[in-house]
Amino acid sequence: MHSSTHTPVIKNERLFLLTIAGIQFTHILDFMIMMPLGPQLIRLLHIDTHQFGLLLSSYTFTAAASSLLAATYIDRFDRRKLLLVLYACFIIATLCCGLAPNFTFLLIARALAGAFGGILGGLVQTMIADVIPFERRGKALGTVMAAFSISTVAGVPLGLLLASTFTSLGWRAPFFFIVLLSGIFWVIGYKLLPNLTAHLHNKPIGNVFQRIFAVAREPRHLTAFAFIAMMMMAGFTVIPYIALYMTTNVGLPESFITVVYLCGGAATFFTSQLIGRMADKYGKLKVYKLVALASFIPLLITTHLVPIAWWLVLINSTIFFILVPGRMVPGMAMVSAVPEAHVRGTFMTLISSVQMLSSGLATLIAGLIITRTPDGMIEHYDTVGYLAVACGVLTIWLAQRLRIPPDPASGASKPAA
């Protein structure tokens, strides 16, 4: 059975969640904000598209690698102290990005930012699972996933806005903005976050690598890893190519893409929390299946769009950003309940690594499927849509096999092993 480790009591749960959400927002924003800076970086740093792609992928791969490395130590320290140290390192690395004089320096700084940012994602979810009881965890993760969704869809327009507004700084402005915002959240976290040490009371068995291997090979953990991997595949095969497809095949101006992302971000701010409350009320598995099934509709429409009225595109894209990232809320609530409390940190960092690797793999696979015609049109995006739906169907099958505590809302979840 799952451990009955005492849940720490915090003075203000709402402030705790908002602080954690702020940290989540900044490190995801740091990844997303690079995407619209390509033209400026290529022109000013005298690099080509391949080198710009390296700047983007370096963040993802070091994040995945650092998450694996973090599994060796994350359950050996107070969660609060570890979070503050890693967040401070992330802020310094992001500052170095803004100060980078050339491509090589920027590449190293991006890799370091990814290394520290990748660990933060798993640590944030671990702290929520440590503090918030399972019956309220859907709402809690909804708050944090709202920050995740907003940073994902707002990163592109915000990067463009900052770079164009502060012309003297140009592409450096978004990084300085993230440093300033992260510094504020670091101070708030230092003052408000509680010490979390309950997991330290369990005496570890074996050396660190034996413990990681034991966590990684546990059958119920393997099911969770497969579930997360397929959920990433079901979204990130489609998401990275939306802007390109809309501007080429659908015929929308580039300026309209900013509107698409802003509307999606504004909608998800509210709907992520609503989905979280529904998951707590009606059962996380039930809500996950409903949201996942509903997400197939905008997924298929998006990958089959033809030139139509802009307002129809905007309605579909907003629904897309509500439902596709919305699956993560009940999904992560279920996944966070899979491990025992004393190995949760190790488990969640492995989950974070799986997320990074599978999202990168999804983008790579979709890039191999998609082709461009001589006149610049995108072909086979519809095939990518079918692949995303197939992965989504597989997540529903896997979700029903996650071994989690009974959900008080439905009583339908399978009992823990």
pLDDT tens digit string along 380-409?
889 999 999 999 999 999 999 887 766 665
The Cα–Cα gap between 272 and 268 comes to: 5
The Cα–Cα gap between 83 and 127 comes to: 9
Instruction: Kindly state whether residue 171 falls inside one of the protein's structural domains.
Output: yes
Asked if 48 and 42 count as a contact pair (C-beta separation under 8 A), the reply is: yes
Asked if 369 and 361 count as a contact pair (C-beta separation under 8 A), the reply is: no
- Distance (Å) of CA 380 to CA 266, 295, 367, 387: 30, 20, 10, 11
CATH code for the domain in which residue 106 is found = 1.20.1250.20
Which pLDDT value is given to residue 204? 57
Structural domain boundaries, residue 185: 13-197+207-399
For residue 235, give the 3-state DSSP assignment. helix
Instruction: Kindly state whether residue 119 falls inside one of the protein's structural domains.
Output: yes
Instruction: Kindly state whether residue 61 falls inside one of the protein's structural domains.
Output: yes
Output the average pLDDT for the chain: 81
Across 276-293, average pLDDT: 90
Which pLDDT value is given to residue 296? 95
The total domain count for the chain is 1
Per-residue exposure over 331-363, b if at least 16 CB sit within 10 Å of its own CB, e if not: bbbbbbbbbbbbbbbbbbbbbbbbbbbbbbbbb
Instruction: Kindly state whether residue 414 falls inside one of the protein's structural domains.
Output: no
Which pLDDT value is given to residue 144? 74
Instruction: Kindly state whether residue 335 falls inside one of the protein's structural domains.
Output: yes
Q: Which amino acid is at 348?
A: M
- Distance (Å) of CA 23 to CA 63, 119, 174, 261, 267: 16, 12, 16, 21, 21
Instruction: Kindly state whether residue 405 falls inside one of the protein's structural domains.
Output: no
312 has a pLDDT exceeding 70 = yes
Instruction: Kindly state whether residue 74 falls inside one of the protein's structural domains.
Output: yes
**DSSP state letters, 245-291:** HHHHTS---HHHHHHHHHHHHHHHHHHHHHHHHHHHHH-HHHHHHHH
50: pLDDT confidence band, cut at 50, 70 and 90?
Answer: low
Which pLDDT value is given to residue 161? 77
CA-CA-CA-CA torsion for 94, 98, 99, 103, nearest 10 degrees? 100
Global confidence as pTM: 0.73
Instruction: Kindly state whether residue 5 falls inside one of the protein's structural domains.
Output: no
pLDDT tens digit string along 268-284?
878 888 888 898 888 88
Q: Which amino acid is at 244?
A: L
Asked if 351 and 333 count as a contact pair (C-beta separation under 8 A), the reply is: no
